[in-house]
Amino acid sequence: MVSHAQLSPILKNDALTRGLGDPEARLLVEWLVERAEQLAEDAAACVDAQLKRLCRWGRSVSRFVSLWCYESDHGAAVQLAAVERFTWPLPCSALDPCELMSSILAWEAEHLKA
């Protein structure tokens, strides 16, 4: 079980959800907390270091959704995806931000199992 103190990089990090609406922000934070709990179950993992990487990834995904959906800056979003080496499929058209966040997190969850 992850302590509340260990989750503070996720729960108290405004940068994770900056630029997002409430629904997609909630999806991201809940997904990150679930992933942090999974990391804590792996006794061999260095949870704090992995939480930092997870939060950095979350900030990047958040920024991608913000660029794509709210700022309609698809070029910058694609450039960010390339720099961050996101492996999920990029959207082909404008999407609802919550739908985009949900599809990214679902893809990541599915491919983490593989």
pLDDT tens-digit map of 12-70: 889 999 999 999 999 999 999 998 888 877 765 577 788 889 999 999 999 999 999 99
AA letter at 60: S
Rounded-to-integer distance, Cα 26 and Cα 17, Å: 8
Residue type for 44, please? A
pLDDT digits (tens, 9 = 90+) for 64-92: 999 999 999 999 999 999 999 999 999 99
Q: How far apart are CA 45 and CA 99, in angstroms?
A: 31
Which tens digits make up the pLDDT trace of 40-56?
777 655 777 888 899 99
Q: Identify the domain containing residue 95 by its residue range.
A: 4-113
Res 113: pLDDT: 64
**Residue carrying the six token digits 């309609």:** 72
Q: CA nearest 7: which of 107, 39, 110, 23? A: 39
Residue 108 CB contacts under 8 Å (≥ 6 apart), including other chains: 31, 88
Q: What is the pTM of this model?
A: 0.83
Q: How far apart are the first and last CA of the chain?
A: 23
Following CA atoms 75, 27, 89, 13 in sequence, which dihedral angle do they give, to the nearest 10 degrees? 50
Question: Would you state the pLDDT for residue 2?
Answer: 66
* Total domains, the chain: 1
